[in-house]
Amino acid sequence: MMILDALSWFLLVGGAVLCVIGGLGLLRLPDVYTRAHAAGINDTLGAWAILLGLMLQAGLGLVTIKLAMIGLFIALVGPVSSHALLKAAYAHDVRARASEEEDPHVD
């Protein structure tokens, strides 16, 4: 139990730290495209680590299955929303800062 608890807390704290880093990236990175990459951290490992930590707390049961399904939905919905957001930005000619190759929007 001690080991499970330690592992669970490691995952919970680790996931929280990753989410904070993702938020920091959201503030620090220069444009919408790069910021979406930072949000990708929260969408994937940040969320999954917290869910996994919660599963270890919940033990085997319906709650764990629900948490796993939440993780699955995040995995399916996250990339779709990032893609939709950036495709819309690209379609509306939002400029990427400091892009190099093949970018039709470079100043």
45 binds other proteins (CB under 8 A): yes
37 binds other proteins (CB under 8 A): yes
Geometric angle at alpha carbon 80, from 101 and 23, rounded to 5° = 75
95 binds other proteins (CB under 8 A): no
Containing 3, the helix (H) or strand (E) segment is helix 2-28
Whose tokens are 């669970």? That residue is 8
Q: CB-based contacts of 96: which residues, under 8 Å, 6+ apart? A: 31, 32, 33, 34, 103, 105
71 binds other proteins (CB under 8 A): no
Size of the site for other proteins (CB under 8 A): 41
11 binds other proteins (CB under 8 A): no
How many Å apart are CA 30 and CA 88, to the nearest integer?
18
Which residues in this chain contact other proteins in the complex, by CB under 8 A? Answer: 18, 21-22, 24-25, 28-31, 33-34, 36-38, 40-41, 43-46, 62, 65-66, 69, 75, 78-80, 82-83, 86-87, 90, 96-103
